[in-house]
């Protein structure tokens, strides 16, 4: 994309540290997958399975690893094509630097601190005692509550909501509409109804975390709901109060983690998965889409289904479920044949029919 970014293949090869096999003077103006690419695009082959597709692609050039041969245009040859693709996309990404300073239509409370190197957009609100550190970017309609803290180089996209005392580390990205620090959902039964338990804790988001659009992460009853370093969270995810998510994990869209659960490091939580309350997950747990975890899973590994089972077992159950009608027929037949055997004087042959 890029409004008009254009590169020669020579320039791309230099920027990527790639070998160049073919015409270095070809100019490309975008990146596209194999089936959509035209002569103006550089395409990419990050998985050998697509070699046939690459050979029939109309791309003007290919980014490819050491094994891909017979490609029909100039090749940018790299050792690690997936990482190189990230670098390639960055070159075509539009560099739109954040406007420096504070937009006149932002409201900064007395007693808030905004670093001079931070950027605050139109109609942002930063409440008393809040801290916005260097190179942080607070986009229009973002809200930074009382005594909240936005770390260096972090970005709040439009309409992101960071409520009071929530603390974000460095290079955190909060997408539009995400809400960090709403009250945890806690009530005590009282007189036939429910009494609200004050949620006096907060939320801590460590460095390099990314939080998707309209995701919600609740403040804890006491202490902090915690998302550790490097974890990436997709859209519309719910993280309840007192939860702790380990480092370098990935949580896909619409997953939900109920109160007080603790996830280890490097988990992968599939879309629409649910993790019950007070559950403990170990490291390297991988949950398939819509899995439902109702007991602790201390061991890493892949789990599927509801209730979540080890993947191989879950798949076997799914296959066998489909065979239930056949199984019932077999049992019925067994019952008839056995009844025939039990009745002396009747032949077994007949009962085996049907």
Q: Would you name the residues annotated as active-site residues?
A: 241
CB-wise, 116 or 192, nearer to a second copy? 192
Backbone angles phi, psi at 259, to 5 degrees: -55, 140
> In this complex, which beta carbon is closest to a second copy, that of residue 100 or of residue 338?
338
Nearer to a second copy, 70 or 349 (CB): 349
**Between residue 62 and residue 121, which ones bind a second copy under the rule CB under 8 A?**
82-83, 85-86, 89-90, 92-94, 96, 103, 105, 107, 121
Tell whether residue 145 is a contact of a second copy (CB under 8 A).
Answer: yes
CB of 156 to a second copy, least distance (A): 12
Token representation of residue 340? 């025939």
Phi, psi of 38 (to 5 degrees): -120, -175
Region 289-318 residues binding a second copy, contact defined as CB under 8 A: 289-290, 292, 294, 305-307, 309, 313, 316-318
Cα 50 to Cα 61, 177, 218, distances in angstroms: 15, 37, 43
Q: Does residue 338 belong to the site contacting a second copy (CB under 8 A)?
A: yes
Q: Is 16 in the site for a second copy (CB under 8 A)?
A: no
Least separation in angstroms between residue 21's CB and a second copy is 23
Among 136, 161, 166, 168, binds a second copy (CB under 8 A): 161
In 3-state terms, what secondary structure has residue 54?
helix
Interface stretch with a second copy, choices 13-21, 64-72, 110-118, 328-336 (CB under 8 A): 328-336
| Secondary structure class of 334 (helix, strand, coil) | helix
Burial 196-206 (b: 16+ CB within 10 A, else e): eeebebbbbbb
Segment 209-238, which members bind a second copy (CB under 8 A)?
210, 212-214, 216, 218, 221-223, 230, 232, 234-236, 238
Regarding 193 and contact with a second copy (CB under 8 A), the answer is: yes
Write each residue from 243 to 282 as x if it is in contact with a second copy (CB under 8 A), else as -, in one continuous string: ----xx-x-xxx-x-x-------x----xx-x-x------
Identify which of 94, 96, 92, 95 has the alpha carbon closest to the alpha carbon of residue 16. Answer: 92
Whether residue 149 has a cis bond before it, omega within 30° of 0: no
Per CB under 8 A, the list member of 6, 69, 278, 330 interacting with a second copy is 330
Q: Which is nearer to a second copy, 1 or 52 (CB)?
A: 1
Residues with Cβ within 8 Å of 173's Cβ and at least 6 positions away in sequence, in order, are: 154, 155, 157, 209, 210, 211
Tell me which of 322, 345, 353, 354 binds a second copy, using CB under 8 A: 322
Closest approach, Cβ 143 to a second copy, in A, equals: 5
CA–CA separation, 181 and 199 (whole Å) = 10
Least Cα distance to 300 among 334, 254, 266, 340 occurs for 266
Lookup result for tokens 């957009």? 121
Which strand (E) or helix (H) includes residue 5? none
Which position has the token pair 């998707």? 212
Q: How far apart are CA 303 and CA 226, in angstroms?
A: 24
């Amino acid at each position: 994309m890029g409004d008009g970014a254009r590169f020669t293949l020579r320039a791309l090869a230099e920027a990527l540290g790639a070998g160049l096999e073919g015409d270095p003077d070809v100019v490309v103006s975008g990146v596209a997958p194999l089936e959509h690419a035209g002569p103006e695009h550089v395409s990419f082959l990050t998985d050998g399975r697509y070699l046939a597709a690459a050979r029939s692609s109309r791309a003007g050039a290919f980014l490819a690893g050491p094994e891909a041969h017979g490609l029909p245009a100039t090749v940018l040859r790299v050792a690690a094509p997936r990482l190189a693709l990230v670098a390639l996309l960055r070159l075509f990404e539009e560099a739109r630097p954040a406007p420096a300073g504070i937009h006149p239509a932002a409201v900064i409370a007395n007693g808030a601190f905004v670093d001079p190197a931070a950027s605050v957009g139109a109609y942002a609100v930063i409440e008393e005692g809040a801290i916005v550190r260097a190179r942080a970017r607070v986009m229009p309609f973002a809200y930074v509550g009382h005594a909240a803290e936005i770390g260096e180089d972090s970005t709040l996209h439009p309409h992101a909501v960071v409520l009071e005392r929530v603390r974000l580390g460095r290079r955190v990205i909060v997408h539009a509409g995400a809400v960090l620090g709403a009250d945890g959902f806690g009530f005590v039964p009282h007189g036939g109804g429910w009494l609200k338990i004050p949620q006096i804790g907060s939320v801590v988001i460590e460095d390099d975390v990314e939080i998707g659009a309209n995701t919600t992460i609740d403040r804890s009853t006491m202490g902090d709901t915690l998302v550790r370093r490097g974890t990436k969270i997709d859209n519309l995810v719910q993280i309840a109060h007192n939860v702790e998510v380990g480092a370098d994990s990935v949580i896909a869209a619409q997953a939900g983690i109920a109160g007080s659960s603790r996830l280890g490091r490097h988990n992968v939580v599939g879309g629409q998965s649910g993790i019950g309350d007070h559950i403990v997950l170990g490291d390297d747990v991988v949950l398939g889409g819509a899995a439902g975890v109702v007991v602790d899973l201390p061991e890493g590994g892949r789990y599927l289904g509801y209730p979540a089972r080890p993947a191989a077992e879950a798949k076997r159950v799914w296959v066998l479920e489909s065979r239930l009608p056949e199984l019932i027929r077999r049992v019925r037949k067994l019952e008839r044949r056995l009844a025939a055997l039990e009745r002396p004087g009747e032949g077994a042959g007949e009962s085996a029919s049907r």
